[in-house]
Amino acid sequence: MIWLRRLVLLAAISFGLSSISAHAAPSVALSEFGKLPDVEDSALSPSGDRIALVTTIKGQRVIAAIEDQTKMLTAIQLGDIKLRSIRWVGEDRLMLITSQTQRLDDRFTTDKAEMFTARVISLDPDDEGGLVFGNSTKHPALIRGSYGVREIDGTQYGFFGGVEYDRKRSRVSLGHFRPHLFRVNLENFKIKKLANAAAPNHGSDWLIDAEGEVAYSMRISYDTGHWIVRNAEGEPILDGTQERAGVSLVGLGFDGTTAIIAERSDTGSRWMEIGQEGGEPTEFLPDVEFENLFFNAETGQLMGYTVGEGDEERHVFTDKALQKKAERVRKAFATYESSIAGWTPDFSDVLIRTSGNKDSGTYYAVDLGTNRANAIAYERLGIGPNEVGPISTFEYTASDGLEMDGILTLPPGVEAKNLPVVMLPHGGPGAANYPVFNWWAQAFASRGYAVFQPNFRGSTNRTVEFRRAGYGEWGRKMQTDKSDGLMALAEAGIVDPSRACIVGASYGGYAALAGVTIQQGLYKCAVAVAPVSDIRTMYREDYEATGRDRTARIALEEQLGNSDLWDDVSPWRNAERADAPIMLIHGVDDTVVPYSHSSRMADKLKDNDKVYELVTLKGEDHWLSLSDTRQKMLENAVRWVETYNPVD
């Protein structure tokens, strides 16, 4: 089976080696960057013997289940569904979380929403699997949250938020959309309700223990921000008021008896831990600046966490045996940008994903019993190490003295001197860029452009203070942070500032529009994908989508600042100032930033005789989930930049 050998590339390495060999590939077509990756996701079975890869084989998108890294068990065709996650349910079954954009009627506060479903598929051809809530006449076959899977007396159970039909006057309709908590037998799909939905204008959250019981629950009011945590007996053990409703149950503690709670306020984050008896909560991991938490998928208990050490991350486990294993993994991949993609409960088998310089994405199966790591799959087989543009972190100082950085991607094999540049700010804006392979940045770099992804104030790669420094700065300091990065690159001789375009998606799309309307004289063109074009409209849409919750209003106003100043930095309201050609690209099924943000912006640009183009992506959502429309986006974005800012 040649195509299987193509998928399972066994480049074995020992733990004592200092380098990991990668694959080679010829010159790259633009489509190699724009298509969905050859491997999109992975999952490791509880024993570590089986791996599921969401991949493309012979042009078909499939789930490939392999055993012992070489034996193909099955290849299940997926078509073009929007797969959000995959996990093993025991050793023989897989659970897929998928979504679909649904139009809603006037009973809801928004006209479209992304609806999620959970489906179990089996490697046994005689086992049909099934759809969670699919056999019920009382519930629509959709989920509103997933709270884990537990094995109880040899049977796998899933815990999901679900909604119920309201049967009145011989009509079947959704009474409300607030989720109840259900336990679902993942073999016969029988349903048992464990907890009722919250009251109107309230939210719910639950933690499930190793035995499949509700260990802790939380209710929060979106009117007042008052929240309350209850123990397994339903007794209140902790409460408070957070006017932004920024409180959540994170998970169970190391021994499974405590609850970890995160409360995010205007002064930072507070992490607490409390037991079943209640009382004064203790500080969670005091004096530790942790970044990620690892939980045991079988019990829900905390296993460990990561801490930053310079430019690296270190895994910390309280179990000494797990700690030794984690250190061995870290040592083996010390020179790579890597993350743990999956692990067995005892950490004897681990899936590692690497990405960065000379690496367009590689999955390694690590067996800590034999001290071997095998490269089992590559995310982009058509992009070899020599076609990956050099990636580095570039530090600079904003005009007001704030220190920041960004990720610089350079064209492969080209001297970093006076290059044309694409500024590529991230979305969010609560997000960040890291020195890893980015398909969009690499696509522009492959065409001869330096690409800079600035971590402007408001990004999440530094302190809480750094993120809060972006509040109220849309179109202001957050915007000049980006152009300050452009000037710093120019001063270093890396780019030619007179040959710059700005490109971005979501908030990054807003920044692209603002770069040629609110700012002027900086960029030769702009490409805005699914952009926010008007802040006031965005505020109204987001506020109304929550049911006009008071806590949502407070959080939005805090982030966006003084509403009297919004119109000054809204591209739609300043379209007549556009001083460079603008391309707008938007999916009609976008449920995060409505398509109207682009269509209205296009109309305004047309009214003002500006050079623009609107590219409509039919059936596409906010995340560019579909291969054809994602490639269409990339082809048009590159065409626009090459037209108005040619390399030669």
Q: Report d(CA 467, CA 403) in Å as an integer.
A: 13
**Residue 210 pLDDT level (bands cut at 50, 70, 90):** very high
- pLDDT tens for 447-457 read 999 999 999 99
Count the residues in the chain: 648
Neighbours of 490 (CB within 10 A): 16
**Residue 70 pLDDT level (bands cut at 50, 70, 90):** confident
Q: Judge whether 507 and 532 are in contact, CB under 8 Å.
A: yes
Do the strands 403-409 and 450-455 form a parallel or antiparallel pair, or are they unpaired?
A: antiparallel
Three-state DSSP at 307 gives strand
Three-state DSSP at 621 gives coil
Tokens of 387: 């076609």
Domains of the chain, CATH where assigned: 389-644 (3.40.50.1820)
Q: Report d(CA 491, CA 292) in Å as an integer.
A: 36
Most confident of 37-51, 99-113, 325-339, 569-583: 569-583
- pLDDT tens for 534-583 read 999 999 988 887 778 787 788 888 889 999 999 999 999 999 999 999 99
Strand 82-89: give its sheet, edge to edge: 82-89, 93-103, 112-122, 130-131
Three-state DSSP at 322 gives helix
Cα separation values, 107 from 194, 196, 602, Å: 27, 22, 30
- pLDDT tens for 326-343 read 888 888 888 888 888 999
Q: Is the pLDDT of residue 10 over 60?
A: no
Three-state DSSP at 329 gives helix
Tokens of 612: 């623009």
Q: Which residues contact 32 (CB under 8 A, 6 or more apart)?
A: 380, 382, 383
Per-residue DSSP letters for 449-494? -EEEEEE-TT-SSS-HHHHHTTTT-TTTHHHHHHHHHHHHHHHTTS
Tokens of 197: 């939905």
Element of type H or E holding 88: strand 82-89
Give me the torsion for CA of 450, 455, 456, 462, rounded to 10°: -160
Do the strands 419-423 and 495-505 form a parallel or antiparallel pair, or are they unpaired?
A: parallel
Three-state DSSP at 380 gives coil
106: left (phi over 0), alpha (psi -120 to 50) or beta: alpha
Tokens of 195: 């907890």
Give me the torsion for CA of 135, 140, 143, 147, rounded to 10°: -60
Tokens of 513: 């529009």
Beta strands in 582-646 (DSSP E): 582-587, 612-617
Neighbours of 10 (CB within 10 A): 11
Q: Which residues contact 309 (CB under 8 A, 6 or more apart)?
A: none
Residue whose structure tokens are 């796998």: 156
- pLDDT tens for 245-295 read 789 999 999 999 999 999 877 666 789 999 999 999 999 999 888 888 989
**Residue 175 pLDDT level (bands cut at 50, 70, 90):** low
Cα separation values, 40 from 36, 46, 379, 418, Å: 7, 20, 7, 35
Its sign, for the CA torsion 70, 22, 56, 433, is: positive
